[in-house]
């Protein structure tokens, strides 16, 4: 696998190359040292977590992950039923929002972690971390709510990253991909399948971007320097999805 995914940088025209990592970390119940090594090797500007710790001392667990990865806690966690956003010091946090989605009785509560970020003058990016339902009907409705939330953001460009619990041919996945760029489909890089780590068979985790964002590469960072198969297997039960995105500068 080529290891030439673009690094974070500011372009001569003022655009910003931003790395976004989506990762279901199974409440940090596995090898947290391996998890931190994978995240650090991916060097994300934005980490969209799913299944963040949600119960006893969850804030301490989030802070521990942030310290171990060189990132800062931004929003989400127990307050959003699992989705969370961490960011590098490169990102200036302008606004955050924690959303609980309507819940179907008998099913798990779901939510969205939302942030509006600024990277360079004129470069602003909305971020939504999500973990959709196991129920097909509820999952489809939640995909629509994600799109509604994107439309509310006061930024010109945005990304959605998460565990969709749906394959590309599924209704919820297609609902998002019909309005957004599916990073893997736009510019495949690395590996495709994300679940499970030991014998991946399905692509149910993804990074999407709005029009105007250029996808420079997106996929599972298998073979990226510093990422090894043993750590990927030990860290959690999902493989991460890493995307390099070029965000244009918008003149004030």
pLDDT digits (tens, 9 = 90+) for 108-131: 999 999 999 999 999 999 999 999
pLDDT in tens, the chain (252 residues): 445 899 999 999 999 999 999 999 999 999 999 999 999 999 999 999 999 999 989 999 999 999 999 999 999 999 999 999 999 999 999 999 999 999 999 999 999 999 999 999 999 999 999 999 999 999 999 999 999 999 999 999 999 999 999 999 999 999 999 999 999 999 999 999 999 898 899 999 999 999 999 999 999 999 899 999 999 999 999 999 999 999 999 987
Domain of 44 in residue numbering reads as 10-247
In a domain, residue 125? The reply is yes
In a domain, residue 1? The reply is no
In a domain, residue 3? The reply is no
Instruction: Give the number of other CB atoms < 10 A from CB of residue 100.
Output: 12
**Number of structural domains the chain divides into:** 1
| Calpha distance 35→64 (Å, rounded) | 12
In a domain, residue 55? The reply is yes
pTM for the model: 0.97
Contacts of 42 (CB under 8 A, 6+ apart): 19, 21, 221, 224, 227, 240, 242
In a domain, residue 2? The reply is no
Instruction: Give the number of other CB atoms < 10 A from CB of residue 154.
Output: 9
In a domain, residue 135? The reply is yes
In a domain, residue 43? The reply is yes
pLDDT digits (tens, 9 = 90+) for 43-64: 999 999 999 999 989 999 999 9
| Calpha distance 168→59 (Å, rounded) | 33
**In CATH, what number is assigned to the domain containing residue 193?**
3.60.10.10
In a domain, residue 177? The reply is yes
What pLDDT does 3 receive? 58
């Amino acid at each position: 696998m080529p290891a030439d995914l673009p690094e974070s940088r500011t372009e001569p025209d003022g655009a910003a190359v931003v790395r976004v990592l989506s990762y279901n970390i199974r409440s940090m119940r596995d090898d947290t040292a391996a998890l931190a090594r994978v995240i650090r090797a991916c060097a994300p500007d934005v980490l969209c977590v799913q299944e963040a710790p949600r119960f006893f001392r969850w804030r301490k667990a989030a802070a521990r992950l942030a310290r171990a990865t060189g990132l800062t806690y931004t929003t989400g966690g127990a307050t959003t039923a699992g989705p969370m956003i961490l960011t590098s010091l490169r990102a200036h946090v302008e606004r955050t929002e924690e959303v609980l989605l309507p819940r179907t009785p008998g099913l798990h509560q779901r939510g969205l972690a939302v942030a509006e970020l600024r990277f360079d003058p004129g470069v602003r990016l909305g971020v939504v971390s999500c973990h959709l339902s196991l129920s097909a009907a509820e999952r489809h409705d939640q995909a629509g709510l994600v799109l509604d939330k994107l439309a509310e953001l006061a930024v010109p460009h945005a990304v959605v990253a998460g565990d969709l619990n749906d394959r590309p041919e599924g209704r919820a996945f297609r609902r998002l991909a019909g309005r957004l760029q599916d990073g893997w489909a736009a510019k495949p890089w690395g590996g495709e399948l994300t679940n499970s780590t030991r014998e991946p068979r399905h692509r149910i985790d993804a990074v999407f971007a709005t029009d105007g964002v250029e996808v420079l590469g997106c996929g599972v960072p298998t073979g990226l320097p510093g990422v090894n198969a043993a750590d990927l297997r030990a860290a959690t039960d999902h493989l991460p999805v890493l995307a390099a995105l070029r965000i244009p500068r918008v003149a004030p």
